[in-house]
Amino acid sequence: MHDTVRSWIGEARHIAVLTGAGMSAESGVPTFRDAQTGLWSRFNPQDLATEAAFRAHPRRVWDWYVHRREMIAAVQPNAGHQALAHFAKRHPGRLTLITQNVDGLHQRAGHSDALALHGNIVEDRWLDEPRSCCGAGGVEAGHPPRCPVCGNLRRPAVVWFGENLPAAALEAAEHAVRQCGLMLVIGTSGEVYPAAGLAFTAHQSGARVVVINPEATALDVVADLCLHEPAAECLPRLLD
């Protein structure tokens, strides 16, 4: 099956790749719920990752994200991240990487143009629409940091529950999967929408779809082939 996928990679003028939490887990990134250790074990993560929670308890939510950032900083991109980045560098314009992961591992591997559908946990943005004062005179340190003039808070640049995906990234992802000849779906359960719907769009547009995941997924139904292997083992063989 690897030879078949390698031939499909060679034939495809454009390749779309969707990655999910399983790929980061191979690097040792804790899942959303696994980050609930120590002090945080008494909190439900879904009660922390919302705008309402941040407005009600900004220090608590900010410190939880500091905790998650520290856990992510301790891990490194794996061989799967590296294989995708190296392929993209060798074949400019042929591969569009779309990720549901917020850990920035694809970017650290060298894939600076990854479409991060759920944002990036190592970056911040303003909670409210920034005024002219926001950032002009610097940012006041704190938990969380804030504008020293109007008090606007900085928040993690991730998509919280109840928020829309960034429109530009989603539009670019949808365009990529409609135009691709091959889509690789890697390390995702296929249960989180609208990201999971991208595989259906690729399939309906006539692209071949390959699912790479150790376990069965909800997207296997649209797959031309399923490779039940870890991405860190599989991708270097497919993309070298």
CA 41 → CA 33, 37, 38, distances in Å?
9, 5, 6
Tell me whether residue 175 is one of the annotated catalytic residues. no
Measured CA to CA, the distance from residue 81 to residue 131 in angstroms comes to 38
What is the rounded distance in angstroms from the CA atom of residue 105 to the CA atom of residue 77? 5
d(CA 109, CA 100): 16
Looking at 106, 111, 118, 203, which residue is catalytic?
118
19 within 8 A of 186, measured Cβ to Cβ? yes
Q: Which amino acid is at 48?
A: L
> Which of 83, 18, 9 shows the shortest CA–CA distance to 219?
18
Q: Which helix (H) or strand (E) holds 96?
A: strand 95-99
Contacts of 190 (CB under 8 A, 6+ apart): 20, 196, 199, 211, 217, 218, 219, 220
> Which of the residues are catalytic?
118
